[in-house]
Amino acid sequence: MLIRNETAADVAAIGRVVTEALRKLPQATGTEAEIVERLRAQGALVLSLVAEDDGDVVGYLAASAARIGAQPDWGLIGPLVILPSRHRQGSGSALMAEALRRLRATCRGAALVGDPGYYGRFGFRAFPGLRVTGCPPDVVQALPFDGTEPCGELIHHSAFGLNQHT
Ligand SMILES: CC(C)(COP(=O)(O)OP(=O)(O)OC[C@H]1O[C@@H](n2cnc3c(N)ncnc32)[C@H](O)[C@@H]1OP(=O)(O)O)[C@@H](O)C(=O)NCCC(=O)NCCS
């Protein structure tokens, strides 16, 4: 399995993987593939990594710039998706490891909204005061690289359509 940057030839496959991986996830909105397209169109993808196996895209990770309260320079990870037929083969971990390695060079930390049962293994955790309005606090998680204590609303790029206010 190979982790690499997306190319123009991957765009359609990425959309399919995002849609297929999230089809049965209760908290998914069905708009995640469009969010990735909007992030790409707006030049907001800090990372756009694919997991390739035997020439096929089997997984995908996006990262975009985010703010937590008044703190800039957080890397927001999401979506992270693996084709259901390829779950539990290490692809999600490999994408995350590469994303964190790269974000460390440019960000004060990584943040995401997701299942703590999965993301805890990479060092993500909830922090007092770290929030996304409307989300349960335990799913809003961060991994500071430099000891910064994340506190405040995790502000996503406008392409997520969350209409967040500070
Ligand atoms: C979550 C997801 C990205 C994990 O990808 P993956 O390639 O299957 O994960 P890995 O093979 O790297 O698994 C790493 C470990 O996490 C565990 N794990 C996988 N999915 C998990 C989940 N949903 N909850 C808790 N643990 C999970 C694995 O069992 C494995 O544990 P082990 O190392 O002790 O065996 C993938 O299942 C997926 O795309 N799911 C649907 C979309 C989704 O839920 N995205 C996350 C949004 S919250």
Residue 165: per-residue pLDDT:
59
Distance set, CA 113 to CA 10, 54, 138 (Å): 25, 30, 9
The strand pair at 71-82 and 109-113 is best described as parallel
List all residues 6 or more positions away from 11 whose beta carbon is below 8 Å from its beta carbon.
40
pLDDT at 164: 81
Q: Which residues have CB under 6 Å of ligand 1? A: 21-22, 25, 80-82, 87-93, 114-115, 117-118
Which pLDDT tens digit goes with each residue over 93-147? 999 999 999 999 999 999 999 999 999 999 999 999 999 999 999 999 999 999 8
Residue 158 has pLDDT above 80, yes or no: yes
Rounded CA separation 152/68 (Å) = 6
Domains of the chain: 2-160 (3.40.630.30)
Q: What is the pLDDT of residues 57-83, one digit of tens each?
A: 999 999 999 999 999 999 999 999 999
- With the most atoms of ligand 1 within 8 angstroms of its CB, the residue from 3, 61, 88, 122 to mutate is 88
d(CA 40, CA 70): 25
CA of residue 118 to ligand 1 center, whole Å: 6
- Residue 94 CA: which ligand 1 atom is closest? 12
Quick check: helix, strand or coil at residue 79?
A: strand
Which stretch of DSSP H or E encloses residue 45?
strand 45-53
